[in-house]
Chain A
C-alpha cells in the first residue's frame, strides 16, 4: 500500500462501517448503523476510504456523544494537525517570508551563485526550525503542567528530527557536495545533531583534572569518532604530561592525528593527491599498530584502530555514537574519506534486529538519493504538511524534481503546496499566508484560492476589505462581486443604506444599487424626506452605476433646487426626469404631484411648451392603465389626477396670457 491506514482515535471501523464526507480542509467521519460483517472496512485490510486519506492527516477528534455502543459519533478529521499549534505559528509565518523570497529570487543567476543562493535559502529555513525549537524548549522548561511539558517535548523532538532530515537533504541534494567536501559536511551534520554526548564532554572538560576523570577516554573517543582531531589532541596532551613514562607513545599518536589528511573545501588539492596522501598516512598507522607501539595502552591502541577504519573497533564505541548514521559517517571518515555521493548507498548497512524507525527509513532513503521516497516517508511520518511542502519546493527550485508528474496532472511540488495551503486556510487566522502559496501553484492554485476564499467568514468590514483586496489583485471578479454583495446585504439588513450602497458601488453591482435606490425612494415616499443626505448629495460619478441611482441623485437635486427657490431650474429638471425616462414610471405620479406647488406659484414657472409636455406625461400615465386598474384606483388617486389637470389648465391659461403679452409688447 502506498499509504498505511490511519485509524481515527475513537472510531472503530472493525465494529461499524464508517462513512465520510470531504471538506476543503477537514473530513467528516461518522459511524453508520451497519455492522462490520457485510462491510469492507476492517482493521486488517484497510478500507479503500482510508487509503485515500493523505499520510499527514492526523486525527483530531471532536467526538460527539460518548457512551454506549448504540451512540453514533461524528469525527472531524483535520488535514494538518500541527497548523493548530500556537508555537509553530512562528514557523509558518517566518518561513512564509523565506518561501516568497525564493519564488521571487533570480532564476537567471548562473551556476555557483545560484547554488549558493539556494543553500542560503535552505539554511534560512533550518534556522527558523531551530528558532522554533528553542522557543518550544523554553516553553517546555517553563511550564508546570506535566501534560503540556510532554506535549512541548514531543514537539521539540519532532522539530529536531525535521531539522536533521532537512540538513542532510541540504548537503546531499541542495548543495550536492562533491567527493571530499561531502564528508566534511556530513561530519558537521553529525556534530550538530548528535547531542546526547555533549553533557559527558562538558562534565569532563569542566572537571578540575580532566585526565583523571573516569570518562576521560570516552571523551577522547567521542572527539576522534566525530573527527574533532584538535580537541582530541588537546585532551591527550594533558594526559601525556601526567604520564612522563609513556610520553613517546603519546607523541607518536599525536603525530598521526596531526598528519591525518583532510579533504579540502577549496580546490587546493585534487582528489588523487588527497587519496595518495591518505594511502601513505594509512600505511604509517598500520605500521605503528603492527609493531605494537600502542600495545601497552589499550585506549590508544583502539584509537589507532579507529584511525585505520577498523569496523570492529568503531563498533565497540557504539554507545558513544548513539545512532547508526554517526557510525556510517565515522566509518567513512577513516576508511573512505573521498567517498563520492553515489557511493554512499553502497556503504549503507542495515543493522539492528528491530525494524527501522520512520526517521531511519527517511535518512536511509536520503543516503540512497531516493528523493521521492524521502518526501513520501516524511509525509507519512510527520503530522504536518509544512515540512514536505517547503522541502519539495526548494528541491524543485534546485531543478531536481522536474520529471516527476503525478497521475492527476499536477506535479508533486504543487500537490504538496496545495495541501499545506489548504491547511492554512482551515485555520481561522493563518489563512492569509495560504494565499501566497496558492499564487505559486500554476495549475490548480487559482481554483483552490477561489474555493477557499469564499469560505472566509467576514465578521468586520475591515476583514472584508482585506479579503476583497486579495481578490481584486488577482482579478477574481466573481469573488469580488460575491463579497461586496454579502457585505451590502448585511448593511441592508442593519438598515445601513449608505454602507450598502458603497459596497454595491465598489462591486459595480448595478442591480443591487437599483435595489438600494428603491429602498431610499420608498423611504422618501413614506416619510416625505430623505435619509442619508450626506451620501446622496455626494454620489459623484458613481451615480451613473445604475439608472435608478441616477434618478435618485437627480431627484434629490430637484429637491435641493426647490429648497433654494431656484424654481425654473427645478421645473426643468423635474420635467427632464420624465421626458428623458430617467424616472421609473411608478414614480411619475409622485413627480407630477411635486409639480403642483410649482404650478401654483404666483409667478409662472412652466412655459407653455413645458406645460404641454407635463400634460402629455399625465395622459401617458393615465392612458397606460387599463380600465380595470382605473376602477381599482382609489378616490385619492383620481382626485390627484383631477387636481393636476386643473392646475395644468390654469397654468396653461396663465402662460398663454403671459407669453402673448410678452410677444405683443
Chain B
C-alpha cells in the first residue's frame, strides 16, 4: 500500500539505489542502502539508513524517513553501482572510471578504496584516448565485470591493479548492462537488441551465444537472471517491453510483455521470492509483476484500479520445466501487475528489492522506501 512508502527529496537526481547486502543468516530486514546521483555538477555517493519502522526520533521526526549517514563526491555521473560486500561499493562512472568505495561503519565515512581510471575509453581517429562511459557493473566478490559505451568488457579483481581480462571491441554497439549467469559466464545486453553470453574461461574474444529480438532490434537496457532457475533471463527494452528468455533454447525471447511506455531502466527478480519481478521506467512508473497469485481464487482484483492492475496473457511456447515465468498452463497463465507509483511524472531510474524492502530513486530528486512490500 502507498501509505507504507517514505519519500525524501534529496536535491540530486538519483541514478542508482542499492540495498547493502545482508550478512548470511541475518533475520533483520535490510536497513542501509546506497545511492548515486547523475547530471549534477557535483555528483555524490550517499549512504542512507532507515531506522526502526514507526518509532519517533528525538527531534520528533518520523524514523521511517531515510537518514543520511555519509556521502562522498563522485567524478562524473553514477552509471551503475553494486555492493561488492558489506563494506565496499563498486561504482561505474560516465568518465569511464570504475571506483571501489569503502563505507567505514565505525565512524560513518566513505573513502575511495581503489580506482581503475580508464577502464573504458575510446580510441578516436587521432588515437588520443577519451573516456567512454562505463554503463554497467556486476560483482561476484572478488570479481568485478564492467561494460561500457566503448563496447569493451573488463574483468577486474578487487585489490588487483590491472584488469584480469579485457575484451576490446567485444560489441560493436553500446553495451548497456551486464549480469552474471554463472560464476564464469556473463550476460550482456546491447543497443541493437541483442543478449549475449560470454564464457570468461574461453580465450576467444567472442560471445558463446547470441540471442536477438526479432523485428526492429529495439535496444535493451537492463538484464536480470532468475535467482534459482538460471536459464530464465529477463530483459527490458527501449520501448518499455519486458522480454523473458529461456537461454537453453532458441535465439528469441520466450515471451514479450507489454509494459512501460518508455525505456525500462531496470529489471529485478526478487532475490528470495522470484515469482515477483520489479521494473522501472523513464515513463515514471514502477511495476510489480506477480506470478504467485492464483487468479481463479481472486478474480475480483480486476476492477480495482483501472490501468494499474491488469492481467496479461503470456505469449509463450511449450515449456518442459514448470516455472511461472515460462508456463503456459491456462489456469496459471496470468500474472498480476501493479503500478506502485500512482501519480507518475519524471523517470524512475533505479530500484532495488531485498527481503520485504523496496527502494527506488527518480529524476524528481527523491528516494522512496517501502519496507513492507512483501511482508
Q: Does B147 contact A (CB under 8 A)?
A: no
Stretch of A43-51, A247-255, A289-297, A456-464 on the interface side = A456-464
Cα–Cα distance between A495 and B123 once the two chains are bound (Å): 7
18 contacts between A and B (CB under 8 A): A93-B366, A94-B366, A96-B345, A97-B364, A429-B40, A432-B13, A462-B38, A465-B238, A493-B125, A496-B149, A496-B173, A499-B149, A499-B174, A502-B191, A535-B173, A540-B214, A541-B215, A542-B217
Q: Which of A94, A459, A460, A469: most chain B CB closer than 10 A? A: A460
Interchain CB contact under 8 A, B172 and A429 = no
Interchain CB contact under 8 A, B77 and A97 = no
Q: For residues 3 through 60 of chain B, which have their beta carbon under 8 Å from a beta carbon of chain A?
A: 9, 11-13, 38-41
When distances are taken between beta carbons in the complex, the residues of chain B under 8 Å from A531 are 169, 172
Interchain CB contact under 8 A, A89 and B133 = no
Interchain CB contact under 8 A, A460 and B262 = no
Cα–Cα distance between A532 and B174 once the two chains are bound (Å): 12
Chain A, Cβ-Cβ closest to B43? A429
Cα–Cα distance between A465 and B132 once the two chains are bound (Å): 16
Q: Which of A100, A428, A538: most chain B CB closer than 10 A? A: A538
Cα–Cα distance between A433 and B346 once the two chains are bound (Å): 8
Q: Does B185 contact A (CB under 8 A)?
A: no
Binary per-residue interface labels of chain A (280-310) against chain B in the complex, 1 for a CB within 8 Å, 0 otherwise: 0000000000000000000000000000000
When distances are taken between beta carbons in the complex, the residues of chain A under 8 Å from B122 are 494-496
Interchain CB contact under 8 A, B11 and A89 = yes
Interchain CB contact under 8 A, B216 and A540 = yes
Cα–Cα distance between A100 and B346 once the two chains are bound (Å): 11
Q: Does A87 contact B (CB under 8 A)?
A: yes
Known: A461-B133, A495-B125, A499-B173. Is A97-B345 also a contact (CB below 8 A)? Answer: yes
When distances are taken between beta carbons in the complex, the residues of chain A under 8 Å from B246 are none
When distances are taken between beta carbons in the complex, the residues of chain B under 8 Å from A93 are 9, 364-366
Task: Supply 13 further A-B pairs (C-beta < 8 A) apart from A93-B366, A432-B13.
Answer: A87-B11, A89-B9, A96-B346, A432-B347, A436-B345, A459-B77, A461-B133, A462-B135, A465-B263, A494-B130, A495-B125, A502-B219, A534-B194
Known: A97-B343, A100-B345, A498-B151. Is A429-B130 also a contact (CB below 8 A)? Answer: no
Interchain CB contact under 8 A, A540 and B217 = yes
B137 to chain A, nearest CB (A): 14
Q: For residues 523 through 556 of chain A, which have their beta carbon under 8 Å from a beta carbon of chain B?
A: 531-535, 538, 540-542
Binary per-residue interface labels of chain A (447-487) against chain B in the complex, 1 for a CB within 8 Å, 0 otherwise: 00000000000011111011001000100000000000000
When distances are taken between beta carbons in the complex, the residues of chain A under 8 Å from B11 are 86-87, 89-90
Q: For residues 86 through 139 of chain B, which have their beta carbon under 8 Å from a beta carbon of chain A?
A: 94, 122-125, 130, 132-133, 135
Q: Does B363 contact A (CB under 8 A)?
A: yes
Cα–Cα distance between A461 and B177 once the two chains are bound (Å): 13
Q: Does B336 contact A (CB under 8 A)?
A: no
Chain A, Cβ-Cβ closest to B149? A461
When distances are taken between beta carbons in the complex, the residues of chain B under 8 Å from A428 are 39-41
Q: Which of A429, A469, A498, A502: most chain B CB closer than 10 A? A: A429
B230 to chain A, nearest CB (A): 24
Q: Does A497 contact B (CB under 8 A)?
A: yes
Q: Does B70 contact A (CB under 8 A)?
A: no
Interchain CB contact under 8 A, A534 and B124 = no
Residues of A in contact with B (beta carbons under 8 Å apart): 86-87, 89-90, 93-94, 96-97, 100-101, 428-429, 432-433, 436, 459-463, 465-466, 469, 473, 493-499, 502, 531-535, 538, 540-542
B326 to chain A, nearest CB (A): 25
When distances are taken between beta carbons in the complex, the residues of chain A under 8 Å from B39 are 428-429, 463
B80 to chain A, nearest CB (A): 10
Interchain CB contact under 8 A, A469 and B282 = yes
Cα–Cα distance between A93 and B362 once the two chains are bound (Å): 11
Cα–Cα distance between A426 and B39 once the two chains are bound (Å): 13
A251 to chain B, nearest CB (A): 40
Known: A436-B345, A493-B125. Is A498-B135 also a contact (CB below 8 A)? Answer: no
Binary per-residue interface labels of chain B (175-198) against chain A in the complex, 1 for a CB within 8 Å, 0 otherwise: 000000000000000011010000
When distances are taken between beta carbons in the complex, the residues of chain A under 8 Å from B171 are 498, 534
Pick the 6 closest A-B CB pairs, nearest first: A498-B172, A532-B172, A494-B122, A89-B11, A90-B9, A498-B173
Interchain CB contact under 8 A, A494 and B124 = yes
Cα–Cα distance between A541 and B125 once the two chains are bound (Å): 30
When distances are taken between beta carbons in the complex, the residues of chain A under 8 Å from B214 are 540
Cα–Cα distance between A431 and B337 once the two chains are bound (Å): 32
Cα–Cα distance between A533 and B151 once the two chains are bound (Å): 13
Interchain CB contact under 8 A, B217 and A460 = no
When distances are taken between beta carbons in the complex, the residues of chain A under 8 Å from B365 are 89-90, 93
Cα–Cα distance between A436 and B215 once the two chains are bound (Å): 33
Cα–Cα distance between A185 and B365 once the two chains are bound (Å): 34
Interchain CB contact under 8 A, B172 and A534 = yes
Cα–Cα distance between A97 and B94 once the two chains are bound (Å): 29
A536 to chain B, nearest CB (A): 8
Q: Does B210 contact A (CB under 8 A)?
A: yes
Interchain CB contact under 8 A, B79 and A462 = yes
Chain A, Cβ-Cβ closest to B77? A460
Cα–Cα distance between A494 and B343 once the two chains are bound (Å): 41
When distances are taken between beta carbons in the complex, the residues of chain B under 8 Å from A460 are 77, 79, 94, 133, 149
Cα–Cα distance between A497 and B125 once the two chains are bound (Å): 12
Q: Which of B39, B122, B366: most chain A CB closer than 10 A? A: B39
Interchain CB contact under 8 A, B151 and A496 = yes
Cβ contact of B124, chosen from A495, A532, A542, cutoff 8 A = A495
When distances are taken between beta carbons in the complex, the residues of chain B under 8 Å from A465 are 238, 263, 282
Q: Does B212 contact A (CB under 8 A)?
A: yes
A117 to chain B, nearest CB (A): 14
Interchain CB contact under 8 A, B151 and A96 = no
Q: Does B150 contact A (CB under 8 A)?
A: yes
When distances are taken between beta carbons in the complex, the residues of chain A under 8 Å from B132 are 494
Cα–Cα distance between A436 and B344 once the two chains are bound (Å): 13
Known: A94-B9, A462-B79. Is A432-B346 also a contact (CB below 8 A)? Answer: yes
A129 to chain B, nearest CB (A): 13
